[in-house]
Amino acid sequence: MKKIILTESQLKNLLDKQISVISKDKKKEIFNYSSIIGDAWHDLIYEAQKLQRINFDLENNDSMNEKKTLYVKKNLRKDQPIKYEFNAELMSAGGDWEMEVMYFRVEFTHEYFYNNIKKIKDLKYTFEVDRKSGKKLSKCYIIIPPAEAGNKIIRGESDSGKYDWFAYQNDELSKEDEKIARITPVDKKNVWAWLKDLLNQFVEDHHEMLDEPDRSDPDDHAS
């Protein structure tokens, strides 16, 4: 076969025909950071799984396309109303041979605790942990709803003793049980209601008005 040699001009003309260049809006991000974002949340998922003693794999880990902003109204001072604000996204995850488990990504976007969170004896959720600085997502947390809130998890025992709750295993379910283990619209509605109550109660327990004396300070009661 005869070798074809192109001149520089011919090569440029050929490339111009095969390659198109489109300018992008300066404000639009063109790079895909999804892997970095996913890795950052993975650390928080493992943190929540360990604390809540709930185990599920992350082979299939996706958004359930339900995102909400939750508000809790309070007075920071007697004449200063404020709103605590939380962004939340409902996610589901599980291994190839597991049923889905629901969990929330939650961000505390506007919170006014001002270090008023007292030491909690029995930690249940990662947002109660006194986190050290340096976390990639410092105001973000993973919250896994329990079975009683509508999540499809089953009690069991792990060899390591680290976990008490697990995703349902497909190969251990009958067809009828598999239907029961599937997430329904009612289950999703229930876990959202549970999250709303949980965050509201957390604010109730730890919110303090700045113009009220600290009842724990003995100097406030000296007079």
Specify the long-range contacts of residues 83-88, CB closer than 8 Å, at least 24 apart. Answer: 83/110, 84/108, 84/110, 84/111, 84/112, 84/199, 84/203, 84/207, 85/109, 85/110, 85/111, 86/199, 88/195
With a cut of 80, say whether residue 4 has pLDDT above it.
no
Q: Higher-confidence residue: 72 or 36?
A: 72
133-176: pLDDT as tens digits: 556 677 899 999 999 999 999 998 777 778 999 999 987 878 88
